[in-house]
Amino acid sequence: MEGVEIRGPLLDRFDEILTTEALDFVATLQREFNARRLELLDARQARQAELSAGATLGFLPETGNVRESEWRVAPPAPGLEDRRVEITGPVDRKMTINALNSGAKVWLADFEDANAPTWENTVSGQLNLRAALDREIDFETGGKTYALRPDEELATIVVRPRGWHLPEKHVLVDGEEVSASLLDFGLYFFHCAERQIAKGRGPYFYLPKMESHLEARLWNDVFVRAQELRGIPHGTIRATVLIETYPAAFEMEEILYELREHSAGLNAGRWDYLFSVIKKFRTRGREFLLPERNAVTMTAPFMRAYTELLVRTCHKRGAHAIGGMAAFIPSRRDPEVNKVALEKVRADKTRESGDGFDGSWVAHPDLVPICREVFDGVLGDRPNQLDRLREDVRVTAEDLLAVSKTPGEITEAGLRNNVDVALRYLAAWMGGLGAVAIHNLMEDAATAEISRSQIWQWIHNDIELADTGAVVTREHVEQIIGEELDKLAAEPGYDEKLFAEATALFKEVALDDDFAEFLTLPAYARLP
């Protein structure tokens, strides 16, 4: 392992993942591609500076030939033909078994927003995926044993590595922190690609947080090189890209084109998309001001434009279009809450299936039957609806930018909810949990990002709350933080140390004059 240094502890069985050969593979990818990754991150900053100075987003004139020419992505890969229900979650042992057994067609095995990237979570997640493919995984709790169903009943594994912006501080290559993207991808690909092929499937990925087709080009080049290094046929890898940043919505065709031999479609990552809308135009006043997050629905004009364009773009190019997350967590104690929420889930999935999506996401196994039933009603025995070209859809740049047409208010209740959710989530994240059930919703890093960025935006626009008339100031938010912490301190299981860390982090990313690009960067710096 020349030039590779492991700074994390070698816990039980970690040596099975952190082998010399696997780390040499990751190091090769790091040496060949990290410089381009850093250049692309610099390009993000340059683009942000232009937007903050008054520029706008639009479809790129220099790539018009890509949008106008005839081409298609690769046909669906084995295990990805039918994606009517996909379940998401972190890669701990219990979730690995429950997700694979859930009845969903696909499991998004998440090293990103649903995972707190502790060193233990990062490496043990890789162990769990390999163990699942070898059928050597089980889990016991409360006298109950969880084990895998037969292979033919299991969901297809699609791994989401961390985004291009994140480092992995526990692994150095030539003295430099390795790209977390390349580490997560590289370890899984090295250990599991051939295992997946032997099962008649393949190494499949979800790619997060990209902001341009050039970032997709980098991933494609990584795929080509990885397949070459491991002697795996070109095009075996398939990747679905989350369209979850504002700039990426204007480059959907170009992103598909760059990955076309490795493409498995696009996903409407709607929570991070809302965060990106705020982040990209945070200095532009009330033209890009959103109401409180629970008031922003998928029927808002700019969100309808985004999702309909995604379906049209995908089906035009023979790619799957996958809908957004149903985050509701059913309650065993409140059937009335369940009834109302499940009706909303059904309506959401009915809208998506009617719009032409080929499948959608859920966060909990209990939601799999509802999503499947809705998509069964549209698809029947067909694996997808790629034949629905949606040529009726006409979306302009102005439609995608029409944030100001979003109905809804900003209330003290909404402000308090943002504070409460962010504090609860960040305390859990600092404790090693990335997917957290809060008020019957599965919250992850994306919803925490929305919560803190909205507060930052409201403070900087002197927003008057609709229900109390109070102006959102830094001092007002600090008062509410104190009041919400007092409520949290009275709850069972309150951890004073974790909530102190969460509060300090939240104040940094929500109240400072400078806007942190991602809360996970300062949060990660606080992890051991």
Q: How far apart are CA 29 and CA 229, in angstroms?
A: 10
Residues in contact with 353: Cβ distance below 8 Å, sequence separation at least 6, in sequence order? 360, 374, 375, 377, 378, 379
Residues in contact with 225: Cβ distance below 8 Å, sequence separation at least 6, in sequence order? 28, 29, 32, 33
- Per-residue pLDDT of 286-328, as tens digits, reads 999 999 999 999 999 999 999 999 999 999 999 999 999 999 9
| pTM > 0.95: yes or no | yes
Nearest Cα residue to 505 out of 438, 181, 497, 110: 497
Question: At 141, is the pLDDT very low, low, confident or very high (cuts 50, 70, 90)?
Answer: confident
For the chain, give the mean pLDDT.
97
Answer whether residue 495 shows pLDDT above 90.
yes
In this prediction, residue 330 carries a pLDDT of 87
Answer whether residue 266 shows pLDDT above 90.
yes
Answer whether residue 366 shows pLDDT above 90.
yes
Answer whether residue 434 shows pLDDT above 90.
yes
- Looking at the DSSP bridge assignments, the partners of residue 325 are 361
What's the rounded mean pLDDT across residues 213-223?
Answer: 99
Q: Look up 444 and say whether it is catalytic.
A: yes
Residue of 130, 160, 372, 452 marked catalytic: 160
Instruction: Count Cα atoms within 13 angstroms, Cβ side, for 294.
Output: 15
Residue of 82, 92, 444, 452 marked catalytic: 444
Q: How far apart are CA 299 and CA 351, in angstroms?
A: 9
pLDDT > 90: what percent of the chain?
95
Amino acid letter, residue 176: E
Q: How far apart are CA 310 and CA 10, in angstroms?
A: 43
- Per-residue pLDDT of 60-107, as tens digits, reads 999 999 999 999 999 999 999 999 999 999 999 999 999 999 999 999
What's the rounded mean pLDDT across residues 455-470?
Answer: 96
Environment class of residue 437 by beta-carbon count within 10 Å: exposed (0-12), middle (13-18) or buried (19+)? middle
DSSP 362: E
In this prediction, residue 340 carries a pLDDT of 85
| Structural tokens at position 44 | 């993000």
Residues in contact with 185: Cβ distance below 8 Å, sequence separation at least 6, in sequence order? 29, 159, 161, 205, 222, 226
